[in-house]
Amino acid sequence: MEAERIAALFTREDGSFLCARWGRPVAPVIFGLAEESLAIFSAAIRAGFAHAGHPVAETDPEMGANLMVFAVRDWDELAGVPDFDLLTGQPGLPGRLSRSGADQYRIQRFDADGGIRACVMLLRLGGALSEAHPAALAEALTMRAALSFATEIAPEPSVAALIRAAYDPVLPVAARDPSHALRLAARLVR
């Protein structure tokens, strides 16, 4: 993967660049899935972060869970989640997602050093995602949660290698300069 493509993956609509990884162990919790799908999602999250060399924990000391996945058939179901507006910081989000026809949505929060502190992932399984295989959906979700991607990514070997490179302990947990893409590209050549 070339540095230009890497830079594009982390460049937001306003032109700003942010490549951030988790700065603390990931403590996932998943709501709204059947037992068999829940096991697949949990295993995919653990395997994905193990591949990146990053720990997964049962709980985060400050937050309890810091990677929260909400799977619903329709966005209206989120109205029943207590304090959902406080959790997301985006009042009226379910309505906006419904009006836009979205099937998924991701919110990330960051620590003072720029590392990912928390991630809330919302999945509407009643739409196009209803046909997705649980393992493929779980893999995609894990990859999207691993870094602060500004664009949609698809699970593929080059993206998995990029995630692994971004978790190199000699790199900072967050970078705002697009030249960081050069450092990542160099690690992919090895």
In this predicted structure, the answer to whether residue 76 has a pLDDT above a threshold of 90 is yes
Looking at the structure, tell me whether residues 125 and 188 fall in a common domain. Answer: no
In this predicted structure, the answer to whether residue 190 has a pLDDT above a threshold of 70 is no
Looking at the structure, tell me whether residues 84 and 95 fall in a common domain. Answer: yes
Of the pLDDT bands very low, low, confident and very high (cuts 50, 70, 90), residue 83 is very high
Looking at the structure, tell me whether residues 31 and 60 fall in a common domain. Answer: yes
In this predicted structure, the answer to whether residue 20 has a pLDDT above a threshold of 70 is yes
Please count the helices (runs of H) and the strands (runs of E) in the chain: 7, 6
* pLDDT digits 0-9 by tens, 135-179: 999 999 999 999 999 999 999 999 999 999 999 999 999 999 999
**Average pLDDT estimate for 80-99:** 93
> If we measure between CA atoms, which residue out of 86, 70, 35 comes closest to residue 141?
70
Looking at the structure, tell me whether residues 75 and 112 fall in a common domain. Answer: yes
- Using an 8 Å Cβ cutoff, are 106 and 144 in contact? yes
Looking at the structure, tell me whether residues 138 and 76 fall in a common domain. Answer: yes
* pLDDT digits 0-9 by tens, 177-188: 999 999 999 999
Looking at the structure, tell me whether residues 2 and 49 fall in a common domain. Answer: no
What does pLDDT average to over the chain?
95
d(CA 125, CA 31): 12
pLDDT at residue number 130: 84
d(CA 138, CA 150): 19
pLDDT at residue number 131: 84
Helix (H, G, I), strand (E, B) or coil at 18: coil
- Using an 8 Å Cβ cutoff, are 45 and 63 in contact? no
Q: How many domains does the chain have?
A: 2
Looking at the structure, tell me whether residues 12 and 50 fall in a common domain. Answer: no
What amino acid is encoded at 133 in this protein?
Answer: H
Looking at the structure, tell me whether residues 86 and 162 fall in a common domain. Answer: no
What is the residue-wise DSSP string for 53-72?
A: T--B-S-BTTTB-SEEEEEE
Looking at the structure, tell me whether residues 128 and 163 fall in a common domain. Answer: no
d(CA 74, CA 94): 9
Looking at the structure, tell me whether residues 84 and 158 fall in a common domain. Answer: no
CB atoms within 10 A of CB 108: 19
The boundaries of the domain holding residue 185 are 1-21+147-190
Retrieve residue 174's tokens: 């967050």
Looking at the structure, tell me whether residues 138 and 157 fall in a common domain. Answer: no
* pLDDT digits 0-9 by tens, 98-136: 999 999 999 999 999 999 999 999 999 987 888 888 999
Looking at the structure, tell me whether residues 36 and 127 fall in a common domain. Answer: yes
Collect all residues with Cβ–Cβ distance below 8 Å to 180 and sequence separation of at least 6: 10, 17, 19, 171
